[in-house]
Structure 1
């Protein structure tokens, strides 16, 4: 079996075609992999306090997320750097089993160090699954459906930001954090067994399969540093770790430009190349979006919103992303290029608009008072979803055929990097602006103002980059 793409022509470019009888099995397998990675990224953050209360290890608390993120990046890299001759289907089966083993280790962990090992294994497997979703697109779907598949993945990430914490809250409320991991084991086994039959056995068309070890080490070190920076309180340490991460990434880029063994597809580290600007647009958009992690705090501290309601309100960011992804799914050519530009402008404007709507000490006790903030949060996510699928499709479309796996894996990697750097940078900004000292109302007001003012700046970079993206040829 070579590819589903060649078995029959596509009569409709509707997103529902992804769920036609011919494509449904593969869509469920690939979408399921993205779902595991996305949802698991948020579930553990919710049940983490329960884990610490049960098995201890408070001093290692932050590593539950740090190791998962770093291992996820390594997993997505593995899709492109796997040994020659190993097909994507075999990697999918292995990834699902690895995720299952990691989940089982977390479920039975007697101590925090054992659980951290499980989280690293989990992250590695789920990172592979996420990278595979993009790597399989060109083999499973005809080109008119590439945007629809990317739209589906974007929608999954949007839904996960709501579904993950909700599911985590249910398990945490029942003191059943082990079951939250254990329930994933049979799911992973089922995915591994099904992948053998439901995914095509596509040929490995890569030419260069050498491993860019130096670049991988530098990138993983950068991810670890920036992830740690996002979890510590000391402002100067945060700044130093972020600075070190930037130096490591810059070093990786310099080596990548000169090396014959590349981690990224050709042109990805040369700003003059369109593919580099596409990746950088994804990175900056994710970096800006991550500033939403402090919205619940500002809602509760400055506006008297309850924790439950603030959680639902910030979920509007995810809702906006999902709705926009489906809204723009049918765009192509010039429409798609305009959607990317409009999305960058909208996200940037919405982020800056949070200053007058959140950086105030006004109780949100009437609809008129909180409606502007609600609309702005929705539009923040809407901007990302508007152009996301088109950015992904353009990357896959212009990458060299022999580097498609690298290009696909780099999409997940760039998304994770943007989120990690965004969380760390946001932490530096709010701490430097007084969130913890002097703290309280005055600290919250200052932190909200500076956070959304400074985080809008990378958004301006995204806007500038989007203006250089040419429409795909018909």
Structure 2
């Protein structure tokens, strides 16, 4: 046992232990990589309207997010499928440089097509950085701190939902959007240079195998189809695209089950295995959470809440995630398993309760309706944050060393898939329920009722799956 492990036990460990003099350099590097991925996801969403106003390309507007998400999934996969002999530290250097290059391309883009190319490059590097945060955990920290590191990353994603749009707002005037990309280039360069001294040299312990090209292609097709479905206005097209994407993921999982060249850890596609249920819980939690994208619209339309205020209110979802992550950071064993179950129940119940409090005609902004709706938003995020770090820790602890990179990369992939599928499905539900036709108050009430009723159902899957997990000592 190392000196760090002797002084850090499961009882004494806290999130602040990650910032001890010995661990601070690695924490800054790994946490910084997650920050770049998380914050950039929201910055560009804020400045995207400014980009098309300045250089045109409204018809390609949605592809700025679509390509970033798809490339991010490919980047996370690359961490696990990289050529043999390339260590994680070298991958980190490459990821930081690729991310910086993507930002540089976007900053000098004369046309929207160049911005899209930059977003793809940027997303690829960001996806690698996000997956590397999880992949490095077992090499940088003693086991009692694995859960704390996962807590930190979860908190970063929560904070990013507020910080990203805020920073984006500073660069949303005229051509100032270019500066939003430029400011991250030097930071990415510093991180690439510093990795050699601040991150450990990790031996590549993966088993020898060929790259699972077919599974990767099917997974990327799924992400792209779901992303496109989320942006098309025609409900029939949405349904067709979602159906094809679901068929694509089913084929991918079937190929994965039979193939000797696996993309995911062993047992990840067999529901009888704990690791499969862990990934399914992560997927459904993220899927349910994305129903919050319509909350600002319903607050403004049904409850007379000002646009700026509605934006800050929906940020309570992120605040709930962050606070719960820190609250449950010290849990272990049975308490951690209970936190996962309670978190799944809270998110599901809070989402369903929005039928009662958000799907109401309340033009005067009656606080007896708005107040409970705001609390429900907070509890949606709180439920996810309560168990997310423990889910990550269980995944890392379940697989052997030769499959750790696959398991870590799959966390980011499942998170992105859940978000992409959830947002696309939410679009199908609200449009089918009358958000645009008949529209107005009746359409919004109908859309909100169906949205939060149907989107709560995957949460029931998470509740059932979480109840089957056994406590671990990690």
| TM-score between both structures, scaled by the size of structure 1 | 0.98
Deviates more, 1:263-272 or 1:355-364: 355-364
| Structure 1 contact 288–459 (Cα < 8 Å) conserved | yes
Partner of 2:90: 90
1:202 aligns with 2:202: yes
Q: Secondary structure at the match of 1:9?
A: helix
Give the superposed CA RMSD.
Answer: 1.2
Partner of 1:259: 259
| Structure 2 contact 34–130 (Cα < 8 Å) conserved | yes
Unaligned runs of 5+ in 2: none
C-alpha displacement of 1:88:
0.2
Partner of 1:243: 243
| Structure 2 contact 54–175 (Cα < 8 Å) conserved | no
C-alpha displacement of 1:8:
5.6
| Structure 2 contact 54–174 (Cα < 8 Å) conserved | no
Aligned pair in 2 of structure 1 residues 5, 158: CA closer, same or farther (>3 Å)? farther
| Structure 2 contact 77–413 (Cα < 8 Å) conserved | yes
C-alpha separation in 1, matches of 2:86 and 2:258: 28
| Structure 1 contact 82–209 (Cα < 8 Å) conserved | no
Aligned pair in 2 of structure 1 residues 31, 209: CA closer, same or farther (>3 Å)? farther
C-alpha separation in 1, matches of 2:236 and 2:2: 53
C-alpha displacement of 1:339:
0.3
Runs of 4+ in 1 over 2 A off after TM superposition: 4-12, 363-369
1:423 aligns with 2:420: no
**4, 9, 34: which is aligned to 2:6?**
9
Q: Secondary structure at the match of 1:362?
A: coil
C-alpha displacement of 1:260:
0.2
Partner of 1:389: 389
C-alpha displacement of 1:158:
0.4
1:414-469 per-position Cα deviation (integer Å, ceiling 9, x unaligned): 00000000000000000000011111111100000000000000000110110111
Corresponding pairs, count: 471
C-alpha separation in 1, matches of 2:340 and 2:307: 34
Deviates more, 1:434-443 or 1:263-272: 434-443
C-alpha displacement of 1:169:
1.3
C-alpha displacement of 1:10:
3.4
Partner of 2:372: 372
1:112-153 per-position Cα deviation (integer Å, ceiling 9, x unaligned): 111100000000000000000000000000110000000000
Partner of 1:27: 27
1:278 aligns with 2:275: no
C-alpha separation in 1, matches of 2:114 and 2:369: 48
C-alpha displacement of 1:366:
5.0
| TM-score between both structures, scaled by the size of structure 2 | 0.98
1:385-428 per-position Cα deviation (integer Å, ceiling 9, x unaligned): 00000000000000122100000000000000000000000000
| Structure 2 contact 347–384 (Cα < 8 Å) conserved | yes
Deviates more, 1:161-170 or 1:128-137: 161-170
